[in-house]
Amino acid sequence: MIGLVFFATVINYLDRQTLSVVAPVITEQFHMTNVGYSRVVFAFMLAYTIMNGVSGPMIDRLGTKLGYAICIGWWSAAAMLHSLARGSFSLGAFRFLLGMGEAGNWPAAVKVVAEWFPVKERALASGIFNSGSSIGAVVAPPLVAWIVLQSGWRSAFLMVGGAGILWLIAWLLLYSTPQNVRTEVTEPPLPASTLLRNRWICMFTLSKVFSDPVWYFYIFWFPQYLKSARGFDLASIGKFAWIPFITADAGNLIGGAFGAALLHRGVPVARARKVAVLCFALLMTSAIPAVLVSNVFLSIALISTATLGYTGALANMLAMPADRFPKNTVGSVWGIASMGAGFGGMIFSLATGWVVDHYSYVPVFFGFGILPLIAASIVWFLPEVLHLNSREAPRVAQ
């Protein structure tokens, strides 16, 4: 089951990362500035932000199997529509549709983890499925660059979109909910009004406003950075742009294993998650020297350390809603939190384009080296008690 979610996440990032790889080609063909490109990214993040708040409750109500199927079917079709883009406006419109569908991946994935794994295994299980994002980002640069060089950028969007349709068939044939949790997951989820008043959810959402834009920067801007600041051509981008994402893949597993080790040593669940998030957030500050060094390969190594830190922290954050809330509400909680991630991604993406056009990448890397520390500080002060009434009190799975 976690393998199915892993491959869905790989496809999610293949679809998402295809634009990043072909951006140097498309921006020239469509005569787009950095600000224009940032607006296309903004369109994706706008839809992603809105639909996180919709997809989480939708998946909770429809169930994991049907809800996940609707999301990946939508985003695969949207990815294929990119091949019809004729300018920045149509590209932005298709990007908006892609964001609508892709928003459902993580609420659905954390529900799979909540349904299938006990608390001590959740961080590692989350790291395994989330490593699909890194694998997708690793595979995308060489694969998409090769497709573009062989058949053009429109074929790249068609091929990666088609992979999602194949996954959808496998998902509908194979996925099932464990028998022992079917009663819980079919109960009505906690209402959004209750969740939005909860202090834990509000603080957790705020932490993602500052943590996830760092990842979006590397996903959407790293190939552009290599081209404009380091002088790479498309072939060189295909050869080297995957490196920070292979370390991010390792970070998913290292982060999950680190959190599990703390739990096995008797550290309380909430404290173990917080310690892990803080430790890996410190690694993300390596983005600051990455933009200052003259050696491009040292710069890539430092950026790779930062991406490892991000996924190591995220593996533990992915497990946190399932630790505190019932299984029939986990998708809604993660959807709300991901709205914060999308909001932060929108704001900081627009800011990135403006800063790069008017100054350089230096202040951008400084900012994305500091933001993780803000996020980790918020996570550290998450309340230990949820303060829900007896009817709404969540159950922690054992």
2-175+183-380 belongs to which homologous superfamily?
Answer: MFS general substrate transporter like domains (1.20.1250.20)
Residue 184 is predicted with a pLDDT of 65
- The more confidently predicted of residues 76 and 128 is 76
**What span, in angstroms and rounded, lies between the C-alpha atoms of 278 and 380?**
8
110, 126 Cβ separation under 8 angstroms: yes
- Kindly calculate the radius of gyration of the chain based on its CA atoms and give it in whole angstroms: 20
Asked if the model's pLDDT at residue 397 lies above 60, the reply is no
Mean pLDDT of 333-340: 85
Q: In the block, which residue shows the tokens 């908006």?
A: 96
Report CA dihedral (172, 175, 178, 179) to the nearest 10 degrees.
40
Q: In the block, which residue shows the tokens 């890539």?
A: 300
* Arithmetic mean of pLDDT over the chain: 85
Residue 392 is predicted with a pLDDT of 46
Residue 398 is predicted with a pLDDT of 34
Asked if the model's pLDDT at residue 137 lies above 50, the reply is yes
14, 163 Cβ separation under 8 angstroms: yes
DSSP for 122-155, please give it. HHHHHHHHHHHHHHHHHHHHHHHHHHHHHH-HHH
Per-residue pLDDT reduced to its tens digit, 197-211 = 888 999 999 999 999
Write down the domain spans for the chain. Answer: 2-175+183-380
3-state secondary structure of 30: coil
- Strand segments, DSSP code E, in 101-215 are none
227, 28 Cβ separation under 8 angstroms: no
Per-residue pLDDT reduced to its tens digit, 245-277 = 889 888 988 998 998 899 989 999 889 999 999
Per-residue pLDDT band at 393 (split at 50, 70, 90): very low
96, 46 Cβ separation under 8 angstroms: yes
The vertex-106 CA angle with 66 and 75, nearest 5°, equals 65
